[in-house]
Amino acid sequence: MFADAEPDISGSSPTFDALGLSEHVLRAIMEIGYKKPLQVQVECFAPAKAGRNLVVQSRTGSGKTAAFVLPILHRIDYSNSSPQVVVVVPTRELALQVHGEFERLGRYTGLKSVCIYGGTGFGEQFNRLMAGVHVIVGTPGRLLDHYRRGNFRTDQVHAIVLDEADEMLNMGFKEDIDVILADTPDAIQRILFSATLSAGILELTDR
């Protein structure tokens, strides 16, 4: 399916080794105790690693977070401290959970990341952004607030992930998401995760 050599994950139960992850990520996985990649992780890894756009229907509990965190960790240029990936999530709780998964799986990679959500910690988030990050995980309103104040650059961003996109639409974030998508270049990778594929989600994926 892809021009470059892809790892052999054709067997029925592939291992993390077979995905072709870096030794830093494999070490973190071993420490966390994940034995094998879950189905959504296997199915997403090669296309996401190749930079393709993805629409994934997947529920919380399926292992969907690591399904985008693993290929993203693989694609980051750790020598460049400009934001390269933006992950947009509906709630503070999910922001913390997704950010935690980046920190756990990326702990030996040199990953620098920030978790951004409303109601608290603007100055701390600002300082972290100024110090340089590879990945920004955040809720739409506060993310746009920092973006509009020029607190982070987007010229090096190569991927944007919308996680639990159906929840974001349900919570009234459509306008914010439209602004975020309109302000990021068409050429970047777009990954959308949603538990349901409602009419609103299909309209979003059409774009």
For residue 58, count other CB atoms closer than 10 A to its CB: 21
Binding mask 49-68 for ligand AMP (x = CB under 6 A): -----------xxxxxxx--
CB of 97 to ligand AMP, least distance (A): 7
Asked whether position 90 contacts ligand AMP by CB under 6 A, the answer is: no
Q: Are the C-beta atoms of residues 165 and 193 closer than 8 Å to each other?
A: yes
> CA 195, 198, 204 angle in degrees (round to 5)?
95
CB of 15 to ligand AMP, least distance (A): 10
Tell me which stretch binds ligand AMP (CB under 6 A): 32-40, 74-82, 117-125, 151-159. 32-40
CB of 65 to ligand AMP, least distance (A): 3
Residue nearest to ligand AMP (CB): 65
> In angstroms, rounded to a whole number, what is the distance separating the alpha carbons of residues 187 and 80?
20
CB of 34 to ligand AMP, least distance (A): 4
> In angstroms, rounded to a whole number, what is the distance separating the alpha carbons of residues 167 and 64?
15
Asked whether position 38 contacts ligand AMP by CB under 6 A, the answer is: yes
> In angstroms, rounded to a whole number, what is the distance separating the alpha carbons of residues 85 and 75?
10
- Cα 61 → chain centroid: 16
Among 25, 37, 105, 160, indicate the residue that binds ligand AMP (CB under 6 A): 37
For residue 96, count other CB atoms closer than 10 A to its CB: 14
Site residues, ligand AMP (CB under 6 A): 34, 37-38, 41, 60-66
